Chains A and B, each alone.
Chain A
Amino acid sequence: MRLARSHRSGSPPLKQPKFPPEELQWVEASPRNRDGKAHALTVIGPMRRLWPLKLRFLARRHSSMVREWAARKLRGLSFLHFARWVLIDGLPGADGRTREPLRSVHLYFEANFNGGFEHYIDAFAYVIPGQIRQIFGGAYGFPGPQPATAFKAYIRRHDYPAALYYSAYPEHTATQILAALAQRARVAALADAAPDLEPQAFARAWRDLLAGRPPMVPTKLPRQKDRNYAIGGQAYALTVFTAIRPGREDELRRFLNRLAESGERPFEQSATTHFARLVVVDRLPFEGSPFGEPTLPFQYLLFATVLDGEPEAHLRDLCERMPRTVDAVWGKCLGGSEQPSATPQAFASWIRANQFETSAFFAPYGAATLAEVRAALDVGQRARHLAVKTQYDTPRTLREDFLREFGGGRMEWPRP
C-alpha cells in the first residue's frame, strides 16, 4: 500500500527495509535459550572462500598478549561469561567419524551472556565494531555491525535455538563472578593478616576492601599451546558435531524436549561443567552463496560446553555421573554405540574425533574452576552480609565478627 502522503519536500518517500515478521521475533522468547540470568547465542554462517584463511591466520598469529589486548574492550563490557568462534569446514559422514567437507567453510560463534538481546547486540555493534567486522566480515549476508538493526536481523537469521541449555551458576552474572573472584582473594589476604592487625588498622583495611573495585584487565598471562584452553587458564572449550542416526531424530528431539520441560538438569551432576548446550542442526543457513543451497545428509547434534581441565576425563566423568542422558542423547548418534556410557573411554575418543578446534576463546575468568567460582560467590555473599551487619560497629567488634566469619588464616581454595 502506498504512503498516504508523500514527503513534504516533494522527494519520493523513503524506502523502508522490509524484514519478515519472524526475523523481528528473536528466539530469546524461547525459554530454552535461557538458564536463569544466562542467555545462549548460537550463530552459524557460511563464509566467502578466502575469509577462513584470514581467520586462521589471525587465530594463529595472535600471541596471548595481543589477544588479551584485543579482548580488553570485551572484558570492559563485562556481560560475557564465555564466547568462542570456531571454523566448521566439514561435518561427520556416514561412519560418524570421518569429516565430509562442506562446500563453504562455516563460522560458528557462541556466546553465554547476561542481559537482554537488544542491549547485548547494541554493545557489540557500537563498542567493538572492528572486531565484529574482523570475525564476521567475510560471511555471506553480513551487513556490517552498523546499523545495528540490520546486524540484529542477520544474527536472528543465523541463530539456532538450543534444545537444552545449562549454566552452572544461573543466578549470577559475569560481572558478579569477576567481582567475587577478586574479592575472595582480598578477603583471603585480609583473613591471613587480620589476627596481627590492630582493630583500627583492620577497620581501615576492611573499608578499603569494600570500597575497592576489582581491576578489569590482567597484565600478563602465560601462552597456551592448545587453543581450546582459555589463555592463562584451565577452562576448556569443547565443540562437537555428531551426526544423528537417520530415523532417530524425532526420538532425540522428544527426549530433549521432555528434559527441558521437566526442568531436569542432568549437567548439574557434573562438577566440571560451567556451561553446556545441545542444539539440533537440521539445516545450514543459505545467503545466496555461489555454491548453492547446502544440503545436509544427516541432522546433526551440536554439543558445546565449557569445562574444567582435561576434556577426556570430563567426558568419562559424564558417562559416570549422567549415564541415562548420555545414552539417550549420544546413543542416537552415528559412530558411537547404542549405550555409550557403558564404554566411557570409547565414548570419549569418539567425541574427541568429532571435535572442532577453537579459533578464539574468550574466557574472562578462565583461570577459575567451577568449585572456585562457587566458593568465591559464597565468600562474596558472606562478605556482603557482614558488611551490612557491621557497617557502624566499632573496629574491635568488626574484627571479631570478621574473624568469626572467615576464621583468620584458614581460607583454602576448594579442589574439585
Chain B
Amino acid sequence: MSRRTPLELHDIQGNVLRGYGLPTAAYVNVRIGDWREGRRLLADLRPTVEDARPWDGGKPGATVNVALSHEGLCRLGVAESTLSTFPPEFRQGMATRSEQLGDDGRSAPGRWENGLREGDIHLLVVLHAESRERLDVQTAWLDRRVASHRRITMGRPQVAEVLGPGDDPTREHFGYRDGFGQPAIEAAPGEQFRGQGVALERSLRPLRRRKGFWPLGLRPLRLRRGWRPLAAGEFVLGYRDDDGVIPPAPEAPFGRNGTFMVYRKLHQDVAAFRRLLKSIAVKHFSADQELAAAKLAGRWRDGTPVRLYPGGDRNGRPKLSKAEVNDFRYRDDQTGGACPLGAHVRRANPRDAMFGGSERSRRHRIIRRGMPYGPPLPSGIHEDDGCDRGLIFVCFNASISRQFEVVNRWLCDGDPFGVGRESDALSAHKSGLMTVQGNPPKLLSLEPLVWSCGGEYLFQPGLSALDALANSDANGRLHPVRGGGRI
C-alpha cells in the first residue's frame, strides 16, 4: 500500500505489536506522591524500557514497560491543557465507565480489590521474565529503585504466569488454548496469518503470474476472497487508521507512538465452570464435555474452530497449523448451525458474522496480551478450593471507547448477534441462558463464572514522550528531548 508509513519501532514500547512470549509477568502499581520524585523515577526506569524493535541478539531474559493512568499523569504534574486532549473515557477511568462495561453486581466497582479501585493505579510497571526466579530478581530491583525516591510507594506485585507445560503454554484456567484472536497489523514485525486481519468480500482480482506472461497485458480476473491486515493506526497513535486518516490523538508528545492499555483483573471460578460443563454435557450433549466446552467458546479446547469442525468426532479433527487455525468466516453459517451465534469467539471477533460483513467489525479490534494468574485447580476437582485465580486481561487499542468498550459490550449483550439478552457464557458474571442453534435449539442455563476484581484505563506512551515527561518543568510543560528514542 502506497500510503503505508513505516512504524517507528524504536519509539513504540514493546509487547504492543508483538508479544514477548516470556512465561511470567508481574504488574506492579507504583503510587506517586510527589511529581518531582515521580519524574525522577521515570527517568531512572527509562533506559530499561523495552522498545518494539526485533531482537537481533535473541530474546532477553527480562523486560520492563510502563503505563500511566490519568491520575498518574495528574500526579506527575502534566498540565490540564494537555490532559484535556486525552479522550474522555481515559480521563474518567474504568470505575466511572462501569455502566458502559456492564460492571454491576459482583463486578461492581464497590466490590473491587484494594489497589485496583478508582484512583489507586498511578504508574503501572509491567515486568516480564523468562522464569519465576528472574522475575523475583526484577521485582527486587524495582523495589530498590522505588525505595530510593521519597513519597513513591510500590504496591504488591500481581504475578501472572502461563499454566501449561512447555509444549502448550497458552492454556488458561478453563482449559482452553488462548490468544488466537490477535489482529494482523500492517508493517508490524513478526509472522501474520490468514484470518487475523479483515475478511475481504469476494472480489475480482488479477491472476498472479509473472509480468508479460499474458499477451497484451490482459490478465484474466478470478473471484477471490482474501484477508488483509489492519492499519497500524488502529492500535498505535500517530499513524493512519483503517479509514486511511490519522485519528484524533492527545497533544504532542503523547500523540505519537503511544497506545491505550486496558488493565483488568478477572477472577475465574474454575470449579463452577467444571460443574456447569458437566451438567450441560449430561443434559444436552450426551455427556461429551469437550463438545459442550467447544459450543460455549466457539473453539475446541485445543483451539480448533467449531466453525470448521462442528461435530463431536474427535478423530476426524486434524491438528491445525497456525496458518489454518484462524482461516474461517461466518458468512456461510448465518443461522449458527455450526458455531452458535452467541459463542465467545464469535462475539469477541465477529469477522463477517454481522449484517454488513467485516465492515461492521474491523474498527472494533484489540490486541490482547493477557496472562493467567493463580495456581491451576487440579483436574477432577469440582469444588472451589478458595484460591484466587483468573486472568490478567491486558489489551491495547487506539480508542478505548471504540475498540475495547464495544467488544466488551458485544460480550455482555447478544442483541447485535440476534440472541437477545443472552450474554457470553465464558465471561458472564450473572446467571442466564445461551441458545445453541439447531433443530431443535438447545437452551443452556448458565452460571456466573467470571467477575471483575478491578482495573484501570492506562496510557502507554512512546519512549520520546517518556523522555519529555521525565524532563517536564514545574508548570507541567513538557520538554521533548532531541534525538529521543533509544538511549
Contacts and interface: CB of A to CB of B under 8 A. Distances in A.
A219 interface: no
B480 A126 contact: no
Contacts of A175: 415, 418, 420
Given A147-B241, A149-B245, A119 B416 contact: yes
A76 interface: yes
B360 A116 contact: no
Interface stretch (A3-11, A311-319, A403-411): A3-11
B110 interface: no
Contacts of B468: 4
Contact of A210 (B100, B409, B420, B441): B441
Contacts of B21: none
B360 A149 contact: no
The contact size tier of chain A is 35 or more
Contacts of B238: 14, 16
A176 to B, nearest CB: 5
A388 B435 CA distance: 10
B81 to A, nearest CB: 10
Interface residues of B, number: 64
A135 interface: no
B8 interface: yes
B204 interface: no
Given A3-B480, A4-B481, A16-B246, A119 B85 contact: no
B252 A2 contact: yes
Contact of A149 (B241, B416, B464): B241
A127 interface: yes
A59 interface: no
B100 A116 contact: yes
Interface string A202-244: 0000011011010000000000000000000000000000000
A345 B246 CA distance: 56
A29 to B, nearest CB: 7
Interface stretch (B29-37, B161-169, B379-387, B400-408): B400-408
Interface string B320-333: 00000000000000
Contacts of B203: none
B483 to A, nearest CB: 7
A19 interface: yes
Contacts of A5: 8, 11, 256, 464, 480, 483-485
B359 A127 contact: yes
Given A5-B485, A14-B5, A149-B245, A119 B409 contact: yes
A9 B401 CA distance: 32
B443 A388 contact: yes
A213 B464 contact: no
B427 interface: no
A123 B360 CA distance: 6
Nearest to B466: A4
A21 B409 CA distance: 24
A121 to B, nearest CB: 10
Interface string B367-407: 00000000000000000000000000000000001100110
Given A2-B480, A19-B248, A76-B355, A114 B363 contact: no
A119 B245 contact: no
Contacts of A176: 415, 420-421
B360 A391 contact: no
B305 interface: no
Contact of B406 (A2, A119, A387): A119
Given A211-B440, A213-B335, A115 B415 contact: yes
A17 B283 CA distance: 56
Given A116-B409, A123-B356, A148-B363, A16 B249 contact: yes
A114 B252 contact: no
A78 interface: yes
A282 interface: no
B465 interface: yes
Contact of B416 (A79, A118, A147): A79
B44 interface: no
A179 B402 CA distance: 28
A61 interface: no
A198 B88 CA distance: 61
B467 interface: yes
A77 B356 CA distance: 7
Interface in A285-331: none
B401 to A, nearest CB: 6
Given A3-B253, A123-B360, A149 B484 contact: no
B256 A147 contact: no
Interface string B85-123: 101100000000000100000000000000000000000
Interface string A151-182: 00000000000000000000001011001000
B364 interface: yes
B467 A4 contact: yes
A146 interface: yes
B438 to A, nearest CB: 7
A262 interface: no
B433 interface: yes
Interface string A100-144: 000000000000001110110011001100000000000000000
B439 A14 contact: no
B437 A211 contact: yes
Nearest to B336: A213
B5 to A, nearest CB: 7
B418 A122 contact: no
B271 interface: no
B160 interface: no
A13 B88 CA distance: 26
Interface string B466-487: 0110000000001011011100
Nearest to B477: A1
Interface hub of A24, A173, A175, A384 (most chain B Cβ within 10 A): A24
A149 B462 CA distance: 23
Contacts of A18: 248
B87 A24 contact: yes
B157 interface: no
B70 to A, nearest CB: 13
B355 A3 contact: no
B126 to A, nearest CB: 22
B484 A387 contact: no
B38 interface: no
Given A24-B87, A116-B405, 19 more contacts: A1-B478, A2-B252, A3-B255, A3-B256, A5-B256, A14-B238, A16-B246, A18-B248, A21-B85, A37-B415, A115-B415, A122-B402, A123-B360, A126-B363, A173-B415, A179-B418, A207-B439, A210-B440, A211-B437
7 contacts: A13-B256, A25-B88, A79-B415, A119-B409, A176-B421, A208-B439, A388-B433
Interface of A: 1-5, 7-9, 13-19, 21, 24-25, 29, 37, 73, 76-79, 114-116, 118-119, 122-123, 126-127, 146-150, 173, 175-176, 179, 207-208, 210-211, 213, 384, 387-388, 391-392
Interface of B: 5-6, 8, 11, 84-85, 87-88, 100, 238-241, 243-249, 251-253, 255-256, 283, 335, 355-356, 359-360, 363-364, 401-402, 405-406, 409, 413, 415-416, 418, 420-421, 433, 437-443, 445, 462, 464-465, 467-468, 478, 480-481, 483-485
Which 9 A-B residue pairings sit nearest by Cβ, starting from the closest? A147-B243, A4-B464, A127-B356, A4-B480, A126-B359, A207-B440, A211-B439, A76-B355, A4-B253
